[in-house]
A and B are shown apart, each in its own frame.
Chain A
Amino acid sequence: MAERRRTWPVHLLLVIASVIMVVPFVWQILTLFKTTSEVSRIPPTILPQEFSLHAFETFFSTVPFWSMFAVSTGSLVLRVVGQVAVAALAGYAFARLPFPGRNALFGLFLAMLMVPSQLFLIGQYGLIRDFGLLDTLPALAIPGMFSAFGTFLMRQAFMNMPPDYEEAARLDGANPFQVFWHVMLPMAKPTLAALTVLTGLYSWNDLLWPLIVSPSGENRPLPVGLAGLQGQFGTDYPTLMAGAFVCSIPLVIVFLVLQRQFFRGIASSGLKG
């Protein structure tokens, strides 16, 4: 018979911590309704003295937000669909289809998993440039369509499945692809969702790779465009905050709708560093 404990001290501590977590977001939102002169007042005003939408106007009139949004979304979809398909196929083969050299090849995948991404950038950049793909949408997505991490995750998922269903399907005359497509893939849905969320998050947030392969500034995804905004409006904080807010809000909404998938994705695998 466990004694019921008071929970208010727990909540008190958590509320204090939560306030610290959200203050930067609240400050961002309060700031984007202020005027440029108001934000440089000392001491700062908390609430906007005169409510202004000027920051949004400046942002939308100087930054091609919708084209950046389309580039971010397009490269995300390409990367996620590509990576999930490629990784699921390979993960299934590593888990269930024996072939000579399988362990050695899997070892190579694992080895690449350990290498930090910066080690690939110079070579990947060279390939993208030599194929004439700089400043294009595919350039943003292609390297991320192949992932040792995704392959590893899918292999784990398939290895943990009972072999009975596959055997039954095989006895019914299904070929390996039919077994994979109709039997195994549906059972791997939770892992597919986890991989989708992780890859999507990484694709959406990534700055360094898009920065390298978008030298001209055409086909810029949101992070690169937003970084450029800061170069242009270095001290116009309301406009910068409006830009940061508008560019971040799409993923925040997706997260609020699909929180469980996000948490599952992170919990099942950890985020690739």
Chain B
Amino acid sequence: MGWALLFIAPATIGLVALYLWPFLSTLIKSFQDVPAFGPATFTGVDNYTELLGDGEVWQAFGNSALYTAIVLLGIPLAVVLAALIEQAGRGRTVYRVLFFLPVVTLPVAIGMVWRFIYNGDFGLFNYVLSWFGIDGQYWVADPRFTIYAFAAVGIWMGLGINLIILGAGLQAIPKAVYEASALDGAGRVRQFFHITVPLLSPSIFFVTILTVIAALQMFDLIFIMLRSVNNTALADSKTIVYLFYEKAFVQFQQGYGAAIAIVLLIVIMIATALQFRLQRSWVFYG
């Protein structure tokens, strides 16, 4: 008993002081007006009513939802690539390493490189499009395109992690299942849809949960690709976490920032609960 307390004390003190208490203080502040200097005053649900009528907040949630929806398209892509890599024999490790490179590259650096690639005047992306006769755009300066441009990078950045998790799931599928179906004359495509996808569905579900949570918290790309240039697209391209950062730590309206964070928590909880509900119809636990 005494030993147990010694073992558990550091983690518990840290959890209470640096997580539980900050969480409760965010909750409390969301019901307060917290000026940058001076005492906070309770204002009831004022922050929340203000937030519901704030077009900027709605736009930020809309942007994050759009970003998340597009990034989810990366999951079918990851499943196909994971299945291909599984069949690649000796080259497997090389492919895994290549796909993993964005994961071990500073997100800030990734944002800088893609901002250059997306440059509307002399960027590589517009140049490649011109080979196909497609007109270039100002991908990260025109608010009609920014979220799509971020989402493409988001998919590119997330593939490495998804491939590793899905690869581990693929290795757990018994080879005999494939051999038996091959004897029955099933080709690769049939095997993919009738064996790989159903047997891999628990891993696909896990990857989906992680992807949605991470996508709803997107911050780094927008900070790097839009903020530091004199970019008018920023106003229309903010994500929830960017807006939270701006309110709480740039404008120091911590009460309003706290309310945005609480709403983010609620959105993530609903999104996750919804997925657990939906999984019953598509995830197969053999």
List residues of chain A with CB under 8 Å of any chain B CB. 2-3, 5, 7, 10-11, 13-14, 17-18, 20-25, 27-28, 31, 39-44, 85-87, 89-90, 92-94, 97-99, 102, 105, 108-109, 112, 114-127, 142-143, 145-146, 148, 151, 175-177, 180, 201, 204-205, 207-208, 211-212, 222-223, 226-227, 230-231, 234, 237, 240-241, 243-245, 247-248, 251-252, 254-256, 259, 262-263, 266-267, 270-271, 273
Contacts and interface: CB of A to CB of B under 8 A. Distances in A.
B161 A271 contact: yes
How big is the B interface, by class?
35 or more
B44 interface: no
Nearest to B180: A2
Contacts of A143: 18
Given A21-B159, A40-B121, A211-B223, 15 more contacts: A2-B178, A25-B101, A27-B124, A28-B116, A117-B217, A121-B248, A126-B25, A146-B18, A207-B220, A208-B241, A243-B112, A248-B106, A256-B97, A270-B165, A270-B206
Contacts of A109: 11, 15
Contact of B122 (A10, A42, A226): A42
A156 B122 CA distance: 52
A161 to B, nearest CB: 16
Contacts of B258: 122
A265 to B, nearest CB: 9
A90 B101 contact: no
Contacts of B108: 207, 222-223, 226-227, 244, 247
B139 interface: no
A21 B23 contact: no
B106 A14 contact: no
Contacts of A94: 8
Interface of A is mostly: helix
Interface in B1-54: 1, 3-8, 10-12, 14-15, 17-26, 29
B210 A270 contact: yes
Interface in B191-234: 206-207, 210, 213-214, 216-217, 219-220, 223-224, 228-229
Given A3-B182, A125-B249, A177-B3, A112 B15 contact: yes
B95 A18 contact: yes
A7 B98 contact: no
A116 B124 CA distance: 36
B122 A44 contact: yes
Nearest to B13: A146
A89 B3 contact: no
Contact of A146 (B19, B96, B104): B19
Interface in B88-136: 88-89, 91, 93, 95-110, 112-114, 116-117, 121-124, 127, 130
